[in-house]
Chains A and B, each alone.
Chain A
Amino acid sequence: MPSSHPASGPDSDARLDALLAARPLAPAPDFVARTLVRVRAENTVALALRQGDEAELDRMLAASTVVPAADFVSRTLERIRTEESLAAAARAGDDSAIEAMLDHWLADQPLDPNAEPAQLAIQTRRAAAREEREITLPVKAPWRRLVDFPVWARSVGSLAAAAAVAFMVFFGVHAPKALVQEQMAFQDAQESVLDDAASNETDNVAGAMDSDDLGTINQDVDPAAGAVLDPYFVESLNVGMS
């Protein structure tokens, strides 16, 4: 008796091939057109995004990609009821409810089985504090509002403060340093001239300088340029000549 099953009987291979070759779904008549539209649309958007099109970027960001499931509201209400009844039971001292809530809160940070009750209490307090922070919108203190200048004012203030600091740094560090350096250089020059004068005087006393040298010095000393010479130096030369 021949089997009606396609995978049995003498011509099962042929039947199987026929089934595999069959195309049960014919493409919709507008399949090609729809595909082309989709390809063009995606390419257009992709090209715009590649080129940094701000408007397309905004449209992508604003798009509501996910539509909430139809039963989302009822599921959320059910979850709220469950959690609240658990909390109520825990408030009433139900140990199993307390443990269930602790398990729920501490799921992210499993406790050491040998943890001390004190550690457990700390973790519970932390979980409670975290949740408290979540539901508390910080209110800016009145004094903060008073000093909460607009952005441009803060920018101008920052610039002014930076300029003031730069001014103080320049005149507080750089300028005095330059003055001191200038003064030291002047003192060095003055000392050098005095040393030279003293040296010349010593040479004259020792008789090391003859009258020809003095004549040369006198020739070198231009009365017009003499103003730059230290009076003490000129005086010492005069002493040496006499």
Chain B
Amino acid sequence: MNASAATLSGWLTPALHTQSSTAPAEPSAPRDEDAILMIAVAAGDETALAQLIRKWQGPLINFFYRSIGSVEQAEDLAQMVFVRLYRAAHSYQPVARFSTYLFHIARRLLINEFRRRQRKPLDIMDPADLHGTDNSTGRDQLRMFELEEAFQQAIARLSEDQRSAILLLKQQELSYEEIAAIMQQSVAAVKTHIFRGRQKLKEILREVL
């Protein structure tokens, strides 16, 4: 345990994020409202953290829910994103839009989650999980049952790249350039994922509906 403790203590030191803190900051980098909140979080302002969580909880949970299909796990992953965000606050530099940074963390966690599942497959999911927290009203509420389940199954059959790219574009309304930065791929590759994913999604929906 001593060797690991030494490693651990090294990892836990505040110098943790020196790599990212040495990254050159762009003078023209956008400084959105969330970036200002992150600076406040780094200064220890818990209200700013709560504000960030309040603002981004819905987008993150829905992104994870569409990717994983379980509300509980979607919430857990969303919480992990905020834990990571808090740890990274001290070294955060607004070199890109905050949403790009946030979904970069989210996607890395998602990929790790898929890898973990491959190593340790879970039990069959309870179908009740698929319906989520039913607080919605109107037309959306009508879709929460068979149709929603079929749609969720269709999305689950896409590759991770295709699903993430489509969700980031349509659900999170991010630009192609932002998605490319999040996925660390070229814009052309992102467009290809989206095009092929949509084609595949339409084919699957034709089968399952």
Q: How many residues of A contact B (CB 8 A)?
A: 61
Task: Check A95/B143 contact, CB under 8 A, given A52-B202, A69-B75.
Answer: no
Task: Check A50/B53 contact, CB under 8 A, given A65-B132, A120-B3, A135-B17.
Answer: no
Measured between alpha carbons, how far is A37 from B85 in the docked complex, in Å?
44
Asked whether A33 is an interface residue with its Cβ less than 8 Å from the other chain, the reply is: no
Instruction: For A79, give its contact among B79, B151, B205 (CB under 8 Å).
Output: B79
Asked whether B31 is an interface residue with its Cβ less than 8 Å from the other chain, the reply is: no
Mark out the residues of chain A between 127 and 155 whose CB falls within 8 Å of any chain B CB in the assembled complex. 128, 130-139, 151, 154
**Chain B contact surface mostly:** helix
Measured between alpha carbons, how far is A109 from B120 in the docked complex, in Å?
10
Question: CB distance B62 to A64 under 8 Å?
Answer: yes
Question: CB distance A77 to B53 under 8 Å?
Answer: yes
Interface string of B12-37 (1 = CB under 8 A from A): 11001101100110000000000000
Measured between alpha carbons, how far is A138 from B182 in the docked complex, in Å?
9
Which residues of chain A are near B19, meaning CB under 8 Å?
Answer: 132, 136
Which residues of chain B are near A124, meaning CB under 8 Å?
Answer: 4, 7-8, 11
Task: Give the Cβ gap from B56 to chain A, nearest Cβ, in Å.
Answer: 10
- Nearest residue in B to A52 (C-beta to C-beta)? B202
Asked whether B6 is an interface residue with its Cβ less than 8 Å from the other chain, the reply is: yes
Asked whether B96 is an interface residue with its Cβ less than 8 Å from the other chain, the reply is: yes
Interface string of B45-63 (1 = CB under 8 A from A): 0100110011001100110
Which residues of chain B are near A45, meaning CB under 8 Å?
Answer: 143, 147
Question: CB distance A72 to B104 under 8 Å?
Answer: no
Interface residues, chain B, CB within 8 Å of chain A? 1-9, 11-13, 16-17, 19-20, 23-24, 46, 49-50, 53-54, 57-58, 61-62, 65-66, 71, 74-75, 78-79, 82-88, 95-96, 100-101, 104-105, 108-109, 112, 116, 119-120, 132-133, 135-136, 139-140, 142-148, 150-151, 166-167, 170-171, 173, 181, 184, 187-188, 198, 201-202, 205-206, 209
| Residue of B2, B88, B209 with most chain A CB atoms under a 10 A cut-off | B209
Asked whether A197 is an interface residue with its Cβ less than 8 Å from the other chain, the reply is: no
Question: CB distance B1 to A42 under 8 Å?
Answer: no
- Nearest residue in B to A131 (C-beta to C-beta)? B84
Task: Give the Cβ gap from B155 to chain A, nearest Cβ, in Å.
Answer: 8
Question: CB distance B9 to A77 under 8 Å?
Answer: no
Interface string of A57-82 (1 = CB under 8 A from B): 11011111111110011011101100
**23 A–B contacts, CB within 8 A, in A order:** A45-B147, A50-B206, A57-B201, A61-B66, A61-B167, A61-B171, A66-B58, A66-B74, A72-B57, A76-B53, A76-B78, A76-B82, A98-B4, A108-B120, A109-B119, A120-B1, A124-B11, A128-B11, A131-B84, A137-B20, A137-B101, A137-B181, A139-B95
Question: CB distance B139 to A41 under 8 Å?
Answer: yes
Question: CB distance B53 to A67 under 8 Å?
Answer: no
Mark out the residues of chain A between 83 and 117 whose CB falls within 8 Å of any chain B CB in the assembled complex. 83-84, 87, 90-91, 93, 95, 98-99, 101-102, 108-109, 117
- Nearest residue in B to A91 (C-beta to C-beta)? B12
- Going nearest first, the 5 A-B pairs with the smallest beta carbon separation are A61-B170, A117-B3, A135-B88, A66-B132, A134-B108
Task: Give the Cβ gap from A127 to chain B, nearest Cβ, in Å.
Answer: 8
Task: Check A108/B116 contact, CB under 8 A, given A124-B7, A137-B96.
Answer: yes
Instruction: For B4, give its contact among A50, A60, A62, A121 (CB under 8 Å).
Output: A121
Q: A62-B170, A90-B12 are in contact. List 20 more A-B contacts (CB 8 A).
A: A52-B206, A60-B151, A65-B148, A67-B132, A68-B75, A72-B78, A76-B83, A77-B50, A80-B86, A83-B83, A84-B86, A93-B5, A109-B119, A121-B3, A124-B7, A132-B16, A132-B19, A134-B108, A135-B105, A139-B23
